[in-house]
Amino acid sequence: MAPERAFHSHSVEATEALGEALGRGLDAGAVVALVGELGAGKTALARGLARGLDVAEGATSPTFTLMHEHAGRVPLYHFDAWMAGREATFLEGGGSDYLGGDGVAVVEWAERVEAWLPLPRLELRLAHLGPEERLLELRVIGTGAAAGALEAALEALEPGPELLEVSPRGSEPPGAASVGDSA
């Protein structure tokens, strides 16, 4: 089974910090699928990823443009699949070439375009726990050398004062706190 980790974020800044730490560990070809309700922190996570990839300008949600390309240590391709239909046309028309290519691709609302997402990929589920608090669950989907690189980036993540590691739903590793224990 692929490694899974989960974090309880107490602020937008902590969510961005997790994204930044993750971005530092990613290389070209990585695909990060962001899944979560409206306002769950997908764009905040993407902003952090951009910083971790040494992107000079801040990442903003590409909802109306479908994709923003940012220069950094490796290019960042930031997709938003919110608008039903347009994203499928974009991906079928060659946009899927950006997934797993020469940069890091981060896809907001990834569940809407799951059929186009390559394996392996890092899936990050964000859920509301309170006004500023979020549950962030990360797992690598797929196998092979590229999956190993994603697993290494996942294993390198460190919790902080506003970012507590918790047990992923459905698992109880020894010594880990559950979400209810971390509040």
Residue-level pLDDT at 169:
64
- Quick: pLDDT tens for 53-72: 999 876 655 555 566 677 88
Q: Please tell me the predicted confidence (pLDDT) of residue 92.
A: 67
Q: List, for residues 11-68, the tens digit of each pLDDT value.
A: 999 999 999 999 999 999 999 999 999 989 998 999 999 999 999 876 655 555 566 6
Distance CA(90)–CA(73), nearest Å, equals 26
The residue-averaged pLDDT of 95-110 equals 82
H helices present in the chain, as ranges: 12-24, 42-52, 86-92, 145-155
In CATH, 4-182 is 3.40.50.300: yes
172 pLDDT higher than 60 = no
Indicate if the pLDDT at residue 173 is higher than 50.
no
| Domain regions of the chain by residue span | 4-182
Q: Per-residue pLDDT averaged across 91-95, rounded? A: 65
Q: Which residues have a Cβ under 8 Å from the Cβ of 161 and sit 6 or more positions away? A: none
- Alpha-carbon 44 to chain mean position: 10
Asked whether residue 113 carries a pLDDT value surpassing 90, the answer given is no
The whole-number pLDDT of residue 117 equals 87
Query: What pLDDT does 10 receive?
Result: 94
Question: What's the pLDDT at 44?
Answer: 92
CB atoms within 10 A of CB 118: 14
Kindly give the pairing relationship between strand 121-128 and strand 31-36. parallel
pLDDT band at 2 (very low <50, low <70, confident <90, very high): low
Task: Encode pLDDT of 70-82 as tens digits.
Answer: 788 999 998 887 7
- One-character DSSP codes across 77-94: EEEE--STTHHHHHHHTT
Q: The tokens of 143 are what?
A: 């196998």
DSSP labels, 110-138 = GGGGGGG--SSEEEEEEEESSSS-EEEEE
Name the pLDDT band for 178 (thresholds 50, 70, 90). very low
Please report which confidence band the pLDDT of residue 83 belongs to, taking 50, 70 and 90 as the band edges.
Answer: low
Question: What is the structure's pLDDT at 56?
Answer: 81
**Where does the pLDDT of residue 182 fall: very low under 50, low under 70, confident under 90, or very high at 90 and above?**
very low
